[in-house]
Amino acid sequence: MLRIVALAATGGLALGAGPAAAEPAGEAALSPLAACAALAEPLGKAACYDAAYAALREAVRTGEVVIVEKREAQAAQRGAFGLSIPSFQIFDRATGGQALESVTGEVDQARRDENGRWVVTLTEGAVWRQIDNGSMRAPRPGDAVEIRKAAFGSFMMKVDGQRGVRARRDD
């Protein structure tokens, strides 16, 4: 069972994904710390916090708990843009529930496929394939690319300000 808990660098924001549970995301991993906070006796409270910290640190070491900063979750969401993957609660929490509508990048390389359509690789590694018969000038390394969501789950790719073409993510 992999449980993901993200503690944002900006404070005590906890995010998580795991088996469906009645507890809010991340609470199972943090509940021992919450129990310590309820203790009144200072030495007992300190001992409780020490034990809870040691358990959390061990869970992180073994991979049962993964700590992710908000900026890392946002980067992962950006990297997954256009892929058909299940929704991850960590993405939703990292962006305040706002779905990512577009990404921008830069052309690393471009080639034509067997149908004469463009296959564009961005510098961060994402590969986008033209799926319509629209025309555009040959993308060159360094050209700016904008990819945005379009109707019915499709995407529009604009290279260097040209007219957009329909595209899909290949990798």
Q: What is the pLDDT of residue 30?
A: 84
How far, in Å, CA of 137 to CA of 50, rounded? 62
> In terms of C-beta density within 10 A (0-12 exposed, 13-18 middle, 19 or more buried), how is residue 137 classed?
exposed
Q: What is the value of pTM for the model shown?
A: 0.53
How far, in Å, CA of 158 to CA of 110, rounded? 13
pLDDT by residue for the chain (171 residues), tens only, comes to: 334 444 433 333 333 344 444 455 567 788 888 899 999 999 999 999 999 999 998 888 888 887 778 788 777 777 777 766 555 555 555 556 666 788 899 999 999 999 999 999 999 899 999 999 999 999 999 999 999 988 887 899 999 989 999 999 887
Q: What is the pLDDT of residue 112?
A: 96
Q: In what order do the strands lie in the sheet with 65-66?
A: 14-17, 3-7, 65-66
Q: Count CA atoms within 13 Å of residue 85 on its CB side.
A: 15
Q: What is the pLDDT of residue 11?
A: 35
Domain boundaries, the chain: 3-94, 102-169
CA dihedral 130, 136, 142, 144 (to 10 degrees): -80
Q: What is the pLDDT of residue 4?
A: 41
